Amino acid sequence: MKKSIIQGTDQPRTTKTLMADLRALGVEQGMTLLVHSSLKSLGWVCGESEAVIQALMDAVTEEGTLILPAHSAVLSDPADWQNPPVPKDWWEPIKESMPPFNPTTTPTWGVGLIPERFRSYPGVYRSNHPNMSMAAWGKHAAYITENHSLDNGLGERSPIAKAYELDADVLFLGTDFDSHTSFHLSEHRAGVRNTVAKGAPILMDGKRVWRNYLEIDYDDECFGEIGKAFEGKHDVRIGKIGSATSKLFKLRPSVDFGVQWLKEHKSK
């Protein structure tokens, strides 16, 4: 951990102090809680990601459910890669040799250190989607992660839709609405995005195959703006978890608000 993080932390963050902060913000036993996180924003944590996960588990208990993103967007068609792109003559060799998605072994990509540790934690389930998988622990973990549709991975047959159904809460640990994955469900329900073709390597009957599927053309560029508007009209609890400015709110009204906002501002 960087020296600057130690210097910027007034006292060590521990499972006990993080748990107390979670309680003070409003995280309760039995909650279904979707978490987006930034480990470095919490300050110096004794035990790092493992301590954060334990604090979250202690806070909701086994009567509740934790849900974290476990996305692996790197398992995708190299023709779509832009950051950075790869030469066109690499596309086919990459598609032929890319390891298939495996819920047990495929690492997360771009979602942070806490989700990467969480996905392999004892008792955690992971949904079977090569790009948009979610990991869950607790009472509803198996239900949330089962039967994740390959097409429209953040749509109506996704863990996000099930979290909506279960009236989940959302916790931002040092993150904000620009990474609010549930707004992608709003994109589906608003009908404002075009459908595009995607592809990824998956396992079918134990064999690696490249599967094409349909998705909408997700665009999170406006999510921060939607979130700011949502905060102005809905109850969002704001407080500190460790050093991190954190937010707690209901998932359902945020998705519904996102649908209306997108229809008004992003109609085709």
Tens digits of per-residue pLDDT, 28-52? 999 999 999 999 999 999 999 999 9
Question: What angle, rounded to 10 degrees, do the helices at 48-60 and 15-25 form?
Answer: 40
Q: Give the pLDDT confidence score for residue 8 in this predicted structure.
A: 73
Q: What is the pLDDT of residues 170-215, one digit of tens each?
A: 999 999 999 999 999 999 999 999 999 999 999 999 899 999 999 9
CB of 173 within 8 A of CB of 19? no
3-state secondary structure 18-87: HHHHHHHHCCCCCCEEEEEECHHHHCCECCHHHHHHHHHHHHHCCCCEEEEECCCCCCCCHHHCCCCCCC
Per the structure block, which two tokens stand in for 240?
Answer: 């500190």
Q: What is the pLDDT of residue 122?
A: 94
Q: Which of 258, 225, 239 is nearest to 18 (CA)?
A: 239
Q: What H or E segment, with its residue span, contains residue 211?
A: strand 207-216
Which tokens sit at 220?
């999170």
Helix (H, G, I), strand (E, B) or coil at 224: helix
172 DSSP β-pair partners? 36, 247
The confidence score (pLDDT) of residue 9 equals 74
When computed from its CA atoms, the radius of gyration of the chain, rounded to whole angstroms, is: 19
Angle 215-153-30 (CA atoms, 0-180°, nearest 5)? 155
pLDDT band at 268; cut points 50, 70, 90: low
What is the Cα–Cα distance from 199 to 267, expressed in whole angstroms? 27
- Regarding pTM above 0.85, the answer is yes
Record the tokens describing residue 202, joined without a space: 């998956």
Tell me how far apart the alpha carbons of residues 84 and 103 are, in angstroms, rounded to a whole number.
26
pLDDT at residue number 7: 65
Residue 10: pLDDT band by 50, 70, 90 thresholds?
Answer: confident
Considering only CA atoms, which of 107, 252, 237 is closest in space to residue 172?
Answer: 237
Structure confidence at residue 228 (pLDDT):
96
Contacts of 217 (CB under 8 A, 6+ apart): 193, 194, 195, 196
Domain spans in the chain, listed from the N-terminal domain onward? 3-73+104-190+220-265
Residue listed under structure tokens 């973990």: 141
Separation CA 78–CA 76 (nearest Å): 6
**pLDDT digit string, tens, across residues 116-150:** 999 999 999 999 999 999 999 999 999 999 999 99
